[in-house]
Amino acid sequence: MRLFNSLTLTFLASTLISASAQTATPAAAERTNAAIIPVPRDQEGPRKRFEELNRRVEAARGDVDVLFLGDSITQGWEGSGKEVWQEFYGPRKAVNIGIGGDRTQHVLWRLENGNINGIKPKVTVLMIGTNNSNRDDHTPGEILEGVTAIVRKLRASLPDTKILLVAIFPRGATFSDQRGKILQVNQALAKLDDGKSVFFIDFGHKLIEADGSISKSVMPDFLHLSPAGYRIWAESIEPKLAQFLGGK
């Protein structure tokens, strides 16, 4: 009898430990996707840029046809891309609200805190997500959720605005795991194209060489565009913009 009780207790203890381990494992593995949680940037530079953009949008008084939304690559239209911007978008009612260093969560916060108040652009050109791809900060699935959340927010806030969703650009001197992550995200983002309100466009192949490398003439630091890179961007989206806005 003592042996039976001992064996029974041992079996029960083992069963409980096993059940506890199985219950705890999924909980321990759960991870909150920060890419979909709106959060502001605390640094002085991004904060001042955000405030400036709110003033820029307010000054436009709703007279905006094209809105460019994104991170430093979008903000760069005011730097390396300024001459191309003037050529393609100067004659149009275009506003740039890109902020260097932004991730999807930061854009989500900006959209809730003034960056699109009072405007109803005909088209929003969105390109975001490369900063989420750094290191192991976010998985491809998490980045996809972040970009998708922005698209949904834009659709809810600007229901009459068409979204030109630009694929995240390739980056780095040559092939890398990070490029692979970005490619996986882009493949899934293409599914957001509904042919009515959201239009996906991917011209990343124009930014790389035949051997997969990126030329410094297009991306001097293998991330941000040169004037030639911005011309590739402008010429690649021009047919769609002309379709949405009428004329070239």
Q: What pLDDT, in 10s, does the model give residues 198-222? A: 999 999 999 999 999 999 999 999 9
Both tokens of residue 208?
């790389």
Cβ-contact 40, 109 below 8 angstroms: yes
pLDDT of residue 24: 43
- The answer to whether residue 150 scores a pLDDT higher than 70 is yes
Residue 4: other Cβ atoms inside 10 A:
8
Question: Mean pLDDT over residues 17-39, rounded?
Answer: 68
Helix/strand/coil (H/E/C) assignment for every residue in the chain? CHHHHHHHHHHHHHHHHHHHHHHHHHHHHCCCCHHHCCCCCCCHHHHHHHHHHHHHHHHHCCCCCEEEEECHHHHHHHCCCHHHHHHHHCCCCEEEEECCCCCHHHHHHHHHCCCCCCCCCCEEEEECCHHHHCCCCCCHHHHHHHHHHHHHHHHHHCCCCEEEEECCCCCCCCCCHHHHHHHHHHHHHHHHCCCCCEEEECCHHHHCCCCCCCCCCCCCCCCCCCHHHHHHHHHHHHHHHHHHHCCC
pLDDT tier at 248, thresholds 50, 70, 90: low
Provide Rg for the chain, Cα atoms.
Answer: 23
Does the pLDDT value for residue 25 go beyond 60? Answer: no
State pLDDT tens for residues 52-71.
Answer: 999 999 999 889 999 999 99
Indicate whether 45 pLDDT > 50. Answer: yes
Cβ(107)–Cβ(150) below 8 Å: yes
- CB-based contact 210:219 (threshold 8 Å): no
Structure tokens that stand for 159 in this block: 């229901």
Q: Looking at residue 29, what is its pLDDT?
A: 61
pLDDT by residue (tens digit) across 86-101? 999 999 999 999 999 9
Catalytic residues: 72, 221, 224
